[in-house]
Amino acid sequence: MRWENAHRIIRTIYPPVDLFEDISPPRDWEILVTAEAKFNPRIRDIVGNLALVPAARRVAGPTASLLMAAFTHVSKARPSRFSDGAYGVWYCGDRFEVALAETLYHFERFMRTTAEPAGDADFRELCAGVQGNFAPAPQGCLAPQDWGPGQIFGRQQRAEGADGVVYASVRYPAGLAAAVFWPDCISLPILQARQFRYHWDGKRTTRYLVHGAREWVRLPEGNAGINPAAIAGGPGLGHGRLHGAAAEPDGKTGFRDVAGG
Task: Say whether pLDDT at 250 is over 60.
Answer: no
Strand order across the beta sheet in which 205-210 lies:
134-136, 164-168, 176-180, 90-93, 2-11, 119-131, 191-200, 205-210, 217-218
pLDDT of residue 46: 63
Find the length of the chain: 261
Indicate the residue type of 134. F
Q: Each residue of 133-189: pLDDT tens digit?
A: 999 999 999 999 999 999 999 999 999 999 999 999 999 999 999 999 999 999 999
pLDDT of residue 26: 65
3-state secondary structure of 11: strand
d(CA 220, CA 55): 46
d(CA 191, CA 6): 10
Nearest to 4 by CA among 71, 107, 92: 92
Q: Each residue of 120-147: pLDDT tens digit?
A: 999 999 999 999 999 999 999 999 999 9
d(CA 258, CA 26): 24
Judged on CB neighbours under 10 Å (0-12, 13-18, 19+), 168 is middle
pLDDT of residue 22: 58
For residue 62, name the pLDDT band (cuts at 50, 70, 90). confident
